[in-house]
């Protein structure tokens, strides 16, 4: 008997289609409007998407140029193509659903270019000899990414019966008591707090005012630059959702350890995990440290290393807890039988 695939209502398809048209217009506009105007001494320079890519290519940083093209040019349009394809049919088939699943996994990586701009704006805040002024490209690109991600999530919720995340590796299988689960989550929480509060970059140049920045201090720096959409992106994707992600995980495991009535935090956890972008920011930071001296000479601080550690620890802890939960459920079922 053939498995029946889920259908999309006409109203939902129409709403998603209109939203995707807006995202497409924003994506096309981003290619031609400036992201920022950078001034070093008395020489201002306007940076558009193509100008940035050309600068990377001319400097011989070919891998990074290709990375930016892939995540900020090719992938956003490819994702929009898939989403338009999904809403064009009332009952998508398994192959199309598989493509929808894959583009959802990679959706947040389009924010790479936005976070690079945020770093430049942050490091130039409060300086005299260098400055950066945010332009229309930043809010347009953020809007394009957020709209397409929201539409993708809505479609995935209605059409996909499974999580867009790969199942955890079986080698993480281990016996974890409720106490050890709480300890693991507690360690990941301390690392997250350090990654948010400790400086990740320090300005290192004789002609600039010494300063250092953590993810939390990036917010007032961007606010002083008047880049409010960037404040929105950093506040939501690098602070609020990572904290919400950890809180849902911590509350679930704490209730389990205390033997309290179990509340389902899975939906909150999955939503927060989808919108958490510390991993994307870590990649943007790595890119900036390689080529950012062209803008503002800076050095990595301990917070940068901690950020990378948090990204990997989050994955290991969450996968370990998930595998352990599956193991416990299997054992409970076998005992019941």
Tokens of 235: 């506040």
Cβ count within 10 A of residue 312: 12
Q: Which residues pair with 39 in a beta bridge?
A: 44, 131
What is the band of 47 on the pLDDT scale with cuts at 50, 70, 90? Answer: confident
pLDDT reading at 260 higher than 80: no
CA 225/CA 133 separation, integer angstroms? 7
CA 274/CA 270 separation, integer angstroms? 6
State the pLDDT at residue 89: 87
More confident residue, 260 or 5: 260
- Mean pLDDT value across residues 286-302: 77
Which letter, b or e, does each residue of 3-12 get, where b requires 16 or more Cβ atoms within 10 Å of its Cβ? eeeeebeeee
Q: Strand pairing of 36-40 and 212-213?
A: unpaired
State the pLDDT at residue 327: 43
- The residue assigned the tokens 């001319």 is 58
CA 167/CA 214 separation, integer angstroms? 33
pLDDT reading at 288 higher than 90: no
Domain boundary assignment for the chain: 10-161+172-336
CA 244/CA 236 separation, integer angstroms? 10
State the pLDDT at residue 169: 52
Query: pLDDT tens digits, residue range 304-336?
Result: 999 999 998 888 888 777 766 554 444 344 444
Tokens of 116: 């690079």
CA 125/CA 282 separation, integer angstroms? 21
For the CA atoms of the chain, what is the radius of gyration?
22
Cβ count within 10 A of residue 42: 6
DSSP state of 48: -
- Angle (CA) 199 200 206, round 5°: 85
Candidates 122, 148, 117, 123; CA nearest to 135 is 117
Tokens of 98: 């598989």
DSSP 69-87: HIIIIIHHHHHHHHHHHHH
More confident residue, 171 or 159: 159
Query: pLDDT tens digits, residue range 48-65?
Result: 888 777 777 776 667 777
- Could you give the percent of the chain with pLDDT greater than 90? 34
């Amino acid at each position: 008997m053939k498995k029946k695939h889920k259908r999309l209502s006409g109203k939902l398809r129409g709403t998603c289609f209109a939203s995707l048209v807006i995202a497409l217009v924003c994506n096309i506009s981003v290619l031609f409007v400036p992201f920022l105007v950078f001034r070093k001494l008395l020489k201002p320079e306007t940076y558009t998407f193509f100008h940035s890519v050309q600068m990377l290519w001319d400097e011989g940083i070919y891998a990074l140029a290709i990375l930016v093209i892939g995540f900020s040019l090719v992938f956003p349009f490819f994702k929009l193509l898939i989403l338009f394809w999904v809403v064009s049919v009332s009952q998508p088939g398994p192959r199309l659903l598989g493509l929808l699943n894959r583009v959802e996994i990679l959706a947040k990586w389009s924010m790479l270019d936005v976070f690079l701009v945020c770093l430049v704006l942050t490091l130039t805040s409060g300086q005299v000899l260098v400055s950066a002024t945010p332009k229309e490209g930043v809010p347009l690109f953020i809007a394009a990414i957020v709209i397409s991600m929201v539409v993708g999530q809505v479609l995935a919720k209605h059409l996909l019966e499974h999580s867009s995340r790969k199942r955890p590796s079986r080698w993480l299988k281990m016996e974890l008591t409720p106490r050890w689960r709480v300890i693991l989550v507690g360690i990941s929480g301390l690392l997250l707090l350090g990654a948010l509060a400790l400086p990740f970059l320090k300005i290192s140049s004789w002609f600039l005012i010494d300063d250092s920045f953590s993810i939390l201090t990036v917010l007032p720096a961007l606010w002083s630059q008047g880049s409010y959409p960037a404040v929105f992106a950093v506040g939501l994707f690098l602070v609020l959702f990572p904290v919400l992600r950890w809180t849902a995980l911590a509350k679930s495991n704490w209730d389990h350890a205390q033997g309290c009535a179990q509340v389902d935090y899975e939906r909150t956890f999955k939503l927060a995990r989808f919108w958490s972008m510390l991993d994307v920011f870590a990649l943007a930071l790595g890119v900036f440290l390689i080529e950012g001296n062209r803008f503002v000479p800076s050095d990595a601080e301990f917070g940068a290393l901690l950020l990378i550690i948090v990204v990997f620890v989050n994955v290991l802890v969450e996968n370990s807890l998930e595998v352990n939960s599956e193991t416990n459920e299997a054992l409970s079922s076998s005992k019941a039988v």
